[in-house]
C-alpha cells in the first residue's frame, strides 16, 4: 500500500509479526495509547475554550505546580489503559507511586508495564504553545499473575520494548518505535485517524540548532558553558541557531527533523538536572537511537543507567550524533 494512505491501525497490524514476542498484546497496548492520544488531543484542543487551564491548586510529588490539564491527561491515559486490561502496571510522572493492575479475568495475565509523562511542557499550556505526552513500555520482570513490584519499573532503558510520544502541535502526531526504526503518524482531525506521514524518521548526523535554557547559564557546568560558546562562535557552519520551546517533546521533534541538540544539564542548583530518567529521558533516548541519534548524560549512554528510584532525574544530552559527541568532548575536559 502507498505509505500516504496507511493508517496507524493498519501499520500496527502489519508490523505485529516483527515484535520479538508476538502475541498481539503489544499491538493492543499501542492501540490503547492511540486512543488515549486522541482523547488527550481533544482535551488539549479545547484548553483555551473551557475553564480547565491554570493551576489545579495542587502540587505533584516533585513539588511542582500541577496544571489542570496534567491531571486530566494523567486520568485519561490511566483510565484508557485500565479499561482495556492490557497492562499489569502503570507509573506516571504525576503519581507518587506505581499502580498495580489486577486483571478481572484470571486467564488474562498481562506482561507489559507502561510509564508515562501524560503532559510534557505543561508551562506552555495556557500560552497556546505545543505540548506532548511521552510513553515507555517494558515487559515485567516478576512472574505474570503476581502483583507488579518496584523492580518491574526500575529497568534500564535498553530493556524498553517500545516508546513514543504524542505532539499536540500545529498538527497532532504520534511518533513511536518498537525497536525497528521510528515512524510518525499525523492525525486527520476530521476523520479521527492517524496516517503514516513520516516513515523512517532520522536525525541528520549533524545540525545547526542547539536547544537549552540558557537563562540558567551561570549555574551550568563549565563543559556546557564552553559548548555554548562553541555553538556561538563564528567558524565553519557556526554560529548555530538557538531554539528552545521548553517542552522536551517539541524540542526533540524539531531537532529530529532539522538536526540539532537538546541539553538539560546538571547545574549548581539541580545536581541531576530536571528531566526524569524513566518518563522522559529513556523513551526519548530509545527514539533518538532508533533514529540514528544519540542520548547521554554528558558521559554515559542514558539507556544503560540502572534506575534506583521511580522519579529519578538525570542530565540529558540528546540529538544529532555528531553534535552530542562534540558536547561530550567539552564535558570530558572537566570530568
Residues that bind ligand AHG (CB under 6 A): 93, 117, 120-122, 213, 246-248, 274
Buried-state track 9-31, b at ≥16 Cβ within 10 A, e below 16: eebbeeebeebeeeeebbbbbbb
Nearest residue (CB) to ligand AHG, 202 versus 216:
216
Residue of 120, 152, 251, 328 that binds Mn ion (CB under 5 A): 120
Q: Which range, of 111-119, 178-186, 228-236, 296-304, touches Mn ion by CB under 5 A?
A: 111-119
CB of 92 to ligand AHG, least distance (A): 10
3-class secondary structure, 209: strand
CB of 121 to ligand AHG, least distance (A): 5
Nearest residue (CB) to ligand AHG, 25 versus 43:
43
Nearest residue (CB) to ligand AHG, 142 versus 312:
312
CB of 33 to ligand AHG, least distance (A): 17
Nearest residue (CB) to Mn ion, 62 versus 83:
62
Question: Three cell numbers at 251?
Answer: 524540542
Written as one string, the DSSP assignment of 57-121 is: EEE-TTSPEEEHHHHHHHHHHHHHHHHTT--SEEEETTSSS-EE---SSTT----EEEEEEEEE-
CB of 120 to ligand AHG, least distance (A): 4
Nearest residue (CB) to ligand AHG, 27 versus 255:
255
Binding residue count for Mn ion, defined by CB under 5 A: 4
Q: Which residues contact 207 (CB under 8 A, 6 or more apart)?
A: 255, 258, 259, 260, 261, 319, 320, 323
Contact 328, 315 (CB under 8 A): no
Q: Does 297 bind Mn ion (CB under 5 A)?
A: no
Q: Looking only at Cα atoms, what is the longest distance across the chain? A: 65
CB of 158 to ligand AHG, least distance (A): 23
The single-letter DSSP state of residue 164 is: E
3-class secondary structure, 307: coil
The vertex-276 CA angle with 275 and 279, nearest 5°, equals 125
Q: Does 117 bind Mn ion (CB under 5 A)?
A: yes
Please report which helix (H) or strand (E) contains residue 211, including its range.
Answer: strand 209-211
CB of 108 to ligand AHG, least distance (A): 32
Nearest residue (CB) to ligand AHG, 199 versus 246:
246
The number of CA neighbours under 13 Å toward the Cβ of 84 is 20
Q: Does 251 bind Mn ion (CB under 5 A)?
A: no
Residue of minimal Cβ distance to Mn ion: 120
Nearest residue (CB) to ligand AHG, 26 versus 47:
47
CB of 14 to ligand AHG, least distance (A): 32
Cα–Cα distance measured from residue 249 to residue 137, given in angstroms and rounded to the nearest whole number = 17
Cα–Cα distance measured from residue 213 to residue 152, given in angstroms and rounded to the nearest whole number = 33
Residues that bind Mn ion (CB under 5 A): 93, 117, 119-120
Amino acid at each position: 500500500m502507498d505509505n500516504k494512505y496507511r493508517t496507524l491501525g493498519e501499520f500496527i497490524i502489519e508490523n505485529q509479526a516483527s515484535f520479538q514476542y508476538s502475541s498481539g498484546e503489544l499491538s493492543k497496548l499501542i492501540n490503547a495509547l492511540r486512543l488515549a492520544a486522541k482523547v488527550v488531543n481533544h482535551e488539549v484542543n479545547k484548553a483555551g475554550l473551557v475553564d480547565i487551564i491554570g493551576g489545579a491548586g495542587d502540587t505533584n510529588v516533585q513539588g511542582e505546580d500541577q496544571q489542570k490539564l496534567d491531571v486530566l491527561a494523567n486520568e485519561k491515559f490511566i483510565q484508557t489503559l485500565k479499561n482495556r486490561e492490557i497492562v499489569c502496571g502503570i507509573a506516571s510522572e504525576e503519581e507518587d507511586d506505581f499502580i498495580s493492575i489486577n486483571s478481572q479475568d484470571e486467564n488474562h495475565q498481562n506482561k507489559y508495564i507502561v510509564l508515562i509523562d501524560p503532559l510534557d511542557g505543561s508551562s506552555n499550556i495556557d500560552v497556546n504553545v505545543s505540548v506532548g505526552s511521552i510513553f515507555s513500555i517494558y515487559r515485567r520482570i516478576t512472574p505474570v499473575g503476581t502483583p507488579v513490584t518496584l523492580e518491574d519499573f526500575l529497568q534500564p532503558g535498553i530493556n524498553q520494548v517500545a516508546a513514543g510520544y504524542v505532539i499536540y502541535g500545529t498538527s497532532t502526531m504520534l511518533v513511536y518505535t518498537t525497536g525497528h526504526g521510528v515512524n510518525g503518524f499525523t492525525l486527520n482531525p476530521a476523520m479521527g485517524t492517524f496516517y503514516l506521514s513520516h516513515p523512517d524518521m532520522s536525525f541528520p548526523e549533524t545540525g545547526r540548532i542547539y536547544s537549552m535554557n540558557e537563562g540558567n547559564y551561570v549555574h551550568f557546568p563549565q563543559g556546557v558553558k564552553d559548548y555554548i560558546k562553541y555553538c556561538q562562535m563564528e567558524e565553519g557552519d557556526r554560529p548555530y541557531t538557538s531554539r528552545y520551546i521548553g517542552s522536551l517533546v517539541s524540542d526533540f521533534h524539531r531537532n529530529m527533523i532539522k538536526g540539532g541538540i537538546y541539553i538539560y544539564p546538571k547545574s549548581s542548583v539541580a545536581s541531576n538536572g530536571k528531566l526524569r530518567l524513566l518518563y522522559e529521558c529513556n523513551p526519548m533516548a530509545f527514539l533518538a537511537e532508533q533514529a540514528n541519534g544519540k542520548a547521554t548524560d554528558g558521559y554515559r549512554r542514558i539507556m544503560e543507567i540502572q534506575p534506583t528510584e521511580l522519579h529519578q532525574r538525570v542530565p540529558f544530552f540528546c540529538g544529532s550524533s555528531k553534535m552530542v559527541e562534540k558536547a561530550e568532548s567539552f564535558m570530558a575536559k572537566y570530568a
